[in-house]
Chain A
Amino acid sequence: AQSVTQLGSHVSVSEGALVLLRCNYSSSVPPYLFWYVQYPNQGLQLLLKYTSAATLVKGINGFEAEFKKSETSFHLTKPSAHMSDAAEYFCAVIYSGGYQKVTFGTGTKLQVIP
């Protein structure tokens, strides 16, 4: 079955350090790719999405993600973590043939240490 894998259910970084959250998809045909963020007791909101116009996608709050077809990856990065970045992050994909059937990864909780 087609899936999306997020390595690391919990990631801790120091404030000001690089944030790297990993996402890999399982298809030879690149799917539609998204990153969502969930703050406590809230729904998910879109951080960024891959549109095929460029392999490096910039999103809100200083986050960006790079699409690498050879590695089937769409990792999320931010150069310098802020306390307000503490949240849970979900990678999501839409594979061909499934109209807007979004498959979510299991999520990565980001902790930012002061």
Chain B
Amino acid sequence: NAGVTQTPKFQVLKTGQSMTLQCAQDMNHNSMYWYRQDPGMGLRLIYYSASEGTTDKGEVPNGYNVSRLNKREFSLRLESAAPSQTSVYFCASSERSEGRNSPLHFGNGTRLTVT
């Protein structure tokens, strides 16, 4: 059982380049999330999708766009990368029917460096 799979694992971009981070889950979860992790700042929510067909902004959405392609897949796009977007990006999912305290299931992250 793969859980939450993120690709790529590592990426180096030049300022201004674009890229899409991919995320897929095989647990049939309704809700999916994108977080970024920076030293000393914990995890901050970028965007989330409560269910297929819906997306909402989180705490730090500027510079990012998302697509909930289907129930399994939730992608994060950087249209014009900036050095401030150097971070580790985590995708997560949870099952809405389990209630509001259902746990998050995380992928192993994408380590992005923007030069």
Contact = CB atoms under 8 A, between A and B. Distances in A.
Contacts of B109: 41-43
A32 B43 contact: no
Contact of B90 (A43, A46, A106): A43
Interface stretch (B63-71, B74-82, B98-106): B98-106
Is the interface on chain B under 10, 10 to 19, 20 to 34, or 35 or more residues? 20 to 34
Given A100-B31, A101-B58, A104-B43, A41 B102 contact: no
A46 B101 contact: no
B107 to A, nearest CB: 5
Interface in B39-71: 40-45, 48, 50, 58
A51 B101 contact: yes
A106 B42 contact: yes
Contacts of B90: 43-44
Interface of A: 9, 32, 34, 36, 41-46, 49-51, 90, 94, 99-102, 104-107
Given A90-B42, A104-B44, 20 more contacts: A9-B40, A32-B101, A42-B109, A43-B4, A45-B106, A49-B101, A50-B101, A94-B101, A99-B50, A99-B100, A100-B48, A100-B96, A100-B100, A101-B45, A101-B48, A101-B58, A104-B35, A104-B42, A106-B41, A107-B42
